[in-house]
Structure 1
Amino acid sequence: MPFEHNVHGMIDRIRALLTVIEEGSVNRASVRLRITQPALSRQMKALEDELGGRLLERETSGVKPTGLGHAVAKAMSPVIASYDSALADLRCQARGDRAELRVGYLGSAAQSFLTPALAQLRKSQPKARLKLHDMSPREQIDALRAGELDVALIGQEGTLAAKEFHSLKLCSLGVCVALADSDPLALKKSITLKDLKGRDFIGVDEEQVPGRNRWVTALCKTAAFKPRFIVIVDGLANVLSQVVSESAVTLLPAYFAKSSHPGVTFVPISDAKARWDFFVLWQRGHASAVTLALVNALKKVAAEL
């Protein structure tokens, strides 16, 4: 039988060897392992044949490891421990009992959505271990696909990957425009999309924020014009800097109106069709209690907003 088809048998034999070494006796090890002594002896012989050397020496008081036996124990003890830990974690995950939660989020949405949701999560799941990752939309989608995230908090870009995962639209928010403080429109309490016709727009790299420029274009289309993107930048922080330096504009979800950036004013867009959808995505399969608790907390926060 090829070695790769006998991995579990090899693990069982190594685990048995470690038990024999700990007990210093094949008899005591067989009792602990709940197998017969002849069966355990056959396992030791099979392992020696596979490794090509003696692992145990018999003495009057029991058995002692040979040099090779010591080397196997030193090399394989951490491997077996890691294997057991990983297997236990996977079984917990299969039952939905996994306590660790890896969450990707948009830094711009953390204060409005994630922070209050985590406060609720702490009350219902006080033992949950959280790993939070401030990531761009593209990074979140890639990490979900690679199994490196359990949950992603994402904007319009989430529609591109919603079919691959469990998904929930948390809310549909209004839209604001980011303008330079010196812009005459910055003095208004609200404006319409038509007011932006003929203005220069700042776009975002589609690799980092997939679909963002298309979303802006679609909104402007409802006002019968096509936006002119004069600069494409990497990341939203750079977008706001370019708004100031280029005296241009960009469209953002309404929660940005609560934030501040040097030289930038955020003005609400009054058009009813100007909306920004916010999603939570999580891995398919049996969701853990912690995952569902976070999703429910996010739903409550979104409802309040």
Structure 2
Amino acid sequence: MMDRIKALLTVIEEGSVNRAAVRLRITQPALSRQMQALEHELGGRLLERETSGVKPTGLGHALVKSMRPLVENYDAALADLRRQARGEHSELRVGYLFSAAQSMLTPALARLRKSHPQVKLKLHDMSPREQIDGLRSGELDLALIGQEGMLAAREFHSARLRSFTVCGAVADGDSLAQKKRITLKELKGRDFIGVDEDQVPGRNRWMTALCKSAGFKPRFAIVVDGITHVLSQVVSESAVTLLPGYFEKLQHPGVTFVPVSDDTARWDCMVLWQKGRASAAARALVDALKQVAAEIK
């Protein structure tokens, strides 16, 4: 039906079935049959024949008013899809973890802007679950995510950017806050703060696996829905949690981040991006992220 509507718009623009047929590169009888089929489908006449050519009826005018924007949007969307199929896309939609943005994404984007200044960036600070859902729905082209991304790595292209050390987050008044380093065993018997699996899938399992490597199972006394709430609970409940090592450079009132010395304590940062023919900008950002990750000391 869309082809018939576009043909009708051409007829109305030309004011002549013959001229429209030439423009559309089809025969006049074939175009007339399309117009008749469209009128039959809609249940009314769309064109009035006059000696000077054809003009739209009231129904024809109504169709033009309602359908022209749809046709224009359809053509624009189709052209955009064709550009994407060729790996040409002027917009790059990126989901990221706020905690990883400063150390990795920000410098990578600076490199991308130099190599692809025409690309429009849409950046979305998202939880790991939101990033995975955004990739699955096609609303994101690329996601900078923690090792929670392993849960969806088979669905997308993926690359491990860097393996970070781990730190423990404890209240300032905690005896562990005075130490330069701690071991995982020193957290045995402490109350842990977990994160809602719906928001950060796999995070509690990661902490559990680390603690089990040190000979104990963590007790998650509190489960919250985001990292900010985790840190607030560290202060108010004098509980502990494990975080990527780059948190050591951050500051949060009442919280001390103490490096964990165990060799097994690692946290992976990953990038996921859509399968198929990735745009040049997406490939360039992946490369930039890899370069930045390699340069981090």
| Both proteins in one fold, TM over 0.5 | yes
Which of 274, 293, 297 is equivalent to 1:283?
274
TM-superposed CA distance for 1:60, in Å, is 2.1
TM-superposed CA distance for 1:129, in Å, is 1.3
Partner of 2:205: 214
TM-superposed CA distance for 1:39, in Å, is 2.1
User: Equivalents in 2 of 1:192, 1:276: separation in Å?
Assistant: 16
Counterpart code for 1:63: V
In the comparison of the two structures, how many residue pairs are matched? 296
CA offset digits 1:26-54 (Å, max 9, x no partner): 22212221222222222212211211211
Which of 17, 21, 35 is equivalent to 2:26?
35
Partner of 2:225: 234
User: Helix, strand or coil for the counterpart of 2:122?
Assistant: strand
User: Equivalents in 2 of 1:53, 1:260: separation in Å?
Assistant: 70
1:300 aligned to 2:291? yes
Partner of 1:189: 180
User: Helix, strand or coil for the counterpart of 1:161?
Assistant: helix
Partner of 1:268: 259
Counterpart code for 2:42: L
User: Equivalents in 1 of 2:88, 2:114: separation in Å?
Assistant: 17
User: Equivalents in 1 of 2:30, 2:238: separation in Å?
Assistant: 81
Counterpart code for 1:242: Q
| RMSD of aligned Cα (Å) | 1.1
1:118 aligned to 2:109? yes
Greater shift after overlay, 250-259 or 193-202? 193-202
Partner of 2:244: 253
User: Equivalents in 2 of 1:91, 1:36: separation in Å?
Assistant: 28
TM-superposed CA distance for 1:12, in Å, is 1.4
Counterpart code for 2:265: A
User: Equivalents in 1 of 2:201, 2:265: separation in Å?
Assistant: 19
User: Helix, strand or coil for the counterpart of 1:203?
Assistant: strand
Which of 126, 130, 154 is equivalent to 1:139?
130
CA offset digits 1:106-148 (Å, max 9, x no partner): 1111111111111111011111111111111111111111111
Runs of 4+ in 1 over 3 A off after TM superposition: none
User: Equivalents in 2 of 1:293, 1:304: separation in Å?
Assistant: 17
CA offset digits 1:196-241 (Å, max 9, x no partner): 1222211111111111111111111111111111111110000000
Partner of 2:196: 205
Unaligned 5+ segments in structure 1 are: 1-9
User: Equivalents in 1 of 2:41, 2:185: separation in Å?
Assistant: 77
Partner of 1:5: none
Greater shift after overlay, 92-101 or 272-281? 92-101
What TM-score comes out, normalization by structure 1 length? 0.95
Partner of 2:56: 65
1:81 aligned to 2:54? no
User: Equivalents in 2 of 1:55, 1:41: separation in Å?
Assistant: 12
1:101 aligned to 2:112? no
User: Equivalents in 1 of 2:41, 2:219: separation in Å?
Assistant: 69
CA offset digits 1:65-98 (Å, max 9, x no partner): 0001101111111111111111111111111112
User: Helix, strand or coil for the counterpart of 2:278?
Assistant: coil
What TM-score comes out, normalization by structure 2 length? 0.97
User: Helix, strand or coil for the counterpart of 1:207?
Assistant: coil
User: Equivalents in 1 of 2:2, 2:196: separation in Å?
Assistant: 48
Partner of 2:161: 170
User: Equivalents in 1 of 2:38, 2:239: separation in Å?
Assistant: 72
1:129 aligned to 2:120? yes
Greater shift after overlay, 217-226 or 233-242? 217-226
Which of 23, 47, 62 is equivalent to 1:56?
47
User: Equivalents in 2 of 1:61, 1:15: separation in Å?
Assistant: 22
Counterpart code for 1:50: E
